[in-house]
Every structure is written in C-alpha cells, then in structure tokens.
C-alpha cells in the first residue's frame, strides 16, 4: 500500500464550511475521517462532497446501543457507500453480529460495496489507571483490548480500532486479514494532546497497523500540506 493511502486525516471541525476549507488545504489526502461533531452538524452532505472528490471515507460514529438499534444504524450508514464504519466492541457479541449482517443488507439495497465494520476496543484517551479505577475493569489494558478484538473477529467484523501500542499483539492474535486502525499516532515533532497511548507513524506501521489516524499534527500545523508531506516521507523511508 502506498504510504499516503495508510494515513486517515480527521475532519474534526464543527461545520460543513470548515470541512470544505480543510479539504481544499489538503487536496492530496485520499482518506478522510468524519466523526460525530461534523456528521451531527452537516449530516450526509459532507459524505456526498467527499464521494464527489473521489475520496475514501471513514465514518467514525462509534455506534453503541441495543442490537436492533445498532443494526438499523449500520444498515442506514452502509447506504452512503463509506469505506470504514465503527461500532463499540462493548455492544457485545449479539450487537456485533447484528451490525455485520446489517451493513451487507444496507449496501445491497443501494448497490454499493459494504463498508468494513471496525470495532472500538478501547478509546486511546483512556489510560490503564482509568480502565481499572474509573471503569472498574479487572483485566490489564492489553488483555482487555485483545479480548475485545477477538470477540469482534469471531462475530464477523473486519477489524478493530486500537492504540498502536496494542497493535502488535492484536496482529499476532487476529491474523493478517484483520484490519487495524490506529489513532494516537504522533510524529516525534508533534505534541501528544489528549492521547495517552501513542506511537510514531513508523512505529505504528511496524507494529502491524493498516491505517493511521493522524489529525492535529497535520490539521493544526501552520502549513498542513507540508506536515502531511513530511509524514508521508517518513513512512516512505520506512517502507
């Protein structure tokens, strides 16, 4: 895979107009993430623009509800023709299976390719201490994320979102066909922000990540295009 195709840039902006401005600043980016903030403000309008510009789309809405509701949401989302779609692994096995079936149904209804359904194992903003003391989960963080990923795989999902620090373990346990999408990726020259578990882009790819979600080091840079090119060059040198 071309290094440029491995990087997903988030459209983490509050409005449709801001999203268009960011798209125009980074015309070479091929894969964009649309999350809760932008989708809530602009709806499917931004997805239509991305499709018209022949961009790939990661619809990161992190569905979490009872199985029937999650299935309905996934069925509707699949009709947009997006490439990746997220749901929380904590939906449980029934919810994950329902989601996997629903995206096929939704895509068939509109004649588009079904999205890859990716499970959120654990938000990268959550530390080991928070997992134990705030969420009261008795497992160690690496063990917990592995259990979530294995459940997602056995339920028919295509991959998982995980910290790059857990990518190597998940790759070894879940196999080469299981997609790993890693946020919390920060170049050495960038600030970590609110991410607790980070790797550099080359470290993340070396650990088994298929896709890297890299936002503020690019979008908040004084010159976003130069920052994008710098990361692409780092990945090219690694490859």
Query: What residue ranges define each of the domains in the chain, with the CATH number in brackets?
Result: 3-238 (3.20.20.70)
Average pLDDT of every residue of the chain: 94
pLDDT band (50, 70, 90) for residue 192: low
Which of 4, 25, 55, 62 is labelled catalytic?
Answer: 62
Give the mean model confidence (pLDDT) for residues 218-229: 95
What contacts 54, CB < 8 A, 6 or more positions away? Answer: none
Give the mean model confidence (pLDDT) for residues 91-113: 97
Q: Which residue has the tokens 């995980």?
A: 162
Residue 197: predicted pLDDT: 55
Give the mean model confidence (pLDDT) for residues 82-96: 98
Catalytic-residue membership of 62: yes
Residue 220: predicted pLDDT: 93
Q: Are 57 and 85 in contact (CB under 8 A)?
A: no
- Record the pTM: 0.94
Pure H helices in the chain: 3-6, 16-25, 36-42, 45-52, 67-78, 92-110, 128-129, 141-154, 164-174, 201-206, 216-219, 224-238
Residue 124: predicted pLDDT: 83
88: pLDDT strictly greater than 60: yes
């Amino acid at each position: 895979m071309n290094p440029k195709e491995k990087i997903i840039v988030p459209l983490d902006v509050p409005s449709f107009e801001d999203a268009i401005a960011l798209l125009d600043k980074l015309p070479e980016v091929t894969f964009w993430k649309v999350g809760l903030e932008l989708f809530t403000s602009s709806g499917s309008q931004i997805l239509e623009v991305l499709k018209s510009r022949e961009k790939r789309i990661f619809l990161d809405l992190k569905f979490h509800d009872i199985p029937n509701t999650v299935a309905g949401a996934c069925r509707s989302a699949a009709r947009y023709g997006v490439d990746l779609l997220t749901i929380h692994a904590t939906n449980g096995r029934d919810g994950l299976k329902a989601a996997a079936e629903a995206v096929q149904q939704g895509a068939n209804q509109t004649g588009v390719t079904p999205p890859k359904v990716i499970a959120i194992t654990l938000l990268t903003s959550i530390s080991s201490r928070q997992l134990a003391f705030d969420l009261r989960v008795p497992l160690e963080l690496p063990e917990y994320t592995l259990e979530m990923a294995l459940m997602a795989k056995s339920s028919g999902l295509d991959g998982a979102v995980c910290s790059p620090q857990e990518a190597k373990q998940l790759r070894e346990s879940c196999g080469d066909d299981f997609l790993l999408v890693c946020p919390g990726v920060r170049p050495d020259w960038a600030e970590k922000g609110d991410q607790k578990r980070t790797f550099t882009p080359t470290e993340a790819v070396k650990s088994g990540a298929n896709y890297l979600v890299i936002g503020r080091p690019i979008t908040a840079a004084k010159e976003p295009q130069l920052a994008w090119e710098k990361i692409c060059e780092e990945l090219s040198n690694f490859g």
